[in-house]
Amino acid sequence: MTAPFERRIGACRRRLREAGADVLVCFPSPNLTYLTGFEASPSERHLLLFVPEDGDPALLAPAMYDAQLAELPISGLNLHSWSDADDPVEIARTVLEGYSFESTGPVTVLLDDRLWATFTQDLRRLLPAGEFGLASTVLESMRVRKDDVELETLRRAGRIADRVSVRVRERGDDLVGTTEAELATEIDRLLAAEGGAEPAFETIVAAGPNGARPHHHSGSREIRAGDPIVLDFGAFVSADVEGGTARYPGDQTRTIVVGEPPAEYATVHETVREAQQAAVDAVESGVTAGSIDDAARSVIEEAGYGDAFVHRTGHGVGLEVHEPPYIVAGNDRELESGMVFSIEPGIYLDGEFGVRIEDLVAVTETGVERLNDSPRGWETGR
């Protein structure tokens, strides 16, 4: 097993010890990818990673993955391959019996937060006296602070989104007559052309009154001159960590207009831009996540649009598009260097238009780093 995965599993074991837990169990999920670099989709087949507080980690996996596992940086793991003729539950029993749990009481098992119920029940049968908790108890505090490789990958994802944003903006008048769905498809193509692996989420193109729906699904409405257009998109990029398949997303929103905007639009857009800047300026290590939401929300409320800001200011970004820390009112979690999250205030006027501006930012030792830097104004054309 090679760095950074060796470091991550080592840190996981230390945190298990601190938490008084004996073993952590993951299955195909971002947690598994974080600890091993291995990415797979959940299925009915048993694919389980065991990380004990004391002892070597083990990976129980179907034989169909043998070739993939041989290429991944997990050489320090004990691999337990099983075929369809085997009983994987009995192999899991052997793995657990091989550990010398030092607990004086029941064995404490931390399960992947997304572990399917069928596998949970298997483990409960194997450890009938066990006490069960969630893997996030130890993994969330690790994953929330990105290491240098993760930060650089997120920067690359940000640069891809920036380049695509500029290319769409430069189309100017050519956007008129294009449907939302057609432009969303074009954005997805541009993300791939710029180096993205695949869209990180369903690309949002919301024109005119559709922009007042924060999570609008791009449809058949044609873009018209004067329409405010909310564009929310990003692509996954591979970290390529020593052969690992971990991928990290971009996530950017801009609101643009082709031609002359509605009368109130310029005021609304400037209010959102000021709110986003206020939130970015408030970011530093030691302040709370809730205070960043407050910084953005207070600007919008003072402008008289408080009721039209209908969602949190942001969300953490890493192996998942939405993960801690959540930039929401009342969240007292203190920001730490290495945290990455979105700042995306918005104003949504039902039946008229919406405006959202979003960038990803990273908390640094000295303040904040923006991971997006494409134009944030609403003007289009070359």
CATH: 1.20.58.480, 3.30.930.10, 3.40.350.10, 3.20.20.70. Which one for 5-143?
Answer: 3.40.350.10
* Burial of residue 364 (number of CB atoms within 10 Å: 0-12, 13-18, 19+): middle
Which pLDDT value is given to residue 73?
Answer: 64
Distance (Å, whole) CA 243 – CA 73:
6
Domain spanning 148-370: CATH superfamily: Creatinase/methionine aminopeptidase superfamily (3.90.230.10)
CA distances from 231 to 180, 374, 376, 378 (A): 10, 13, 12, 11
Pick the closest to residue 149 from 74, 251, 247 (CA basis).
247
How many Å apart are CA 231 and CA 269, to the nearest integer? 14
* pLDDT score, position 1: 47
Predicted pLDDT of residue 121? 97
Mean pLDDT of the chain: 94
Q: Which residues make beta-bridge pairs with 238?
A: 247
Q: Where in the chain is the domain with CATH 3.90.230.10?
A: 148-370
Give residue 39's pLDDT: 87
Series of mean pLDDT values for 10-residue runs along the chain (382 residues)? 78 94 96 91 95 93 88 75 94 93 83 97 95 96 95 96 97 96 98 96 98 96 97 93 75 96 96 98 98 98 98 97 97 98 98 98 97 96 72
The boundaries of every CATH 3.40.350.10 domain in the chain are 5-143
Q: What is the dihedral of CA 120, 123, 128, 129, to 10 degrees?
A: -90
Residue 48: phi and psi, rounded to 5, are -130, 135
pTM of the model: 0.94
Q: Are strands 23-26 and 108-111 parallel, antiparallel or unpaired?
A: parallel
CB atoms within 10 A of CB 64: 11
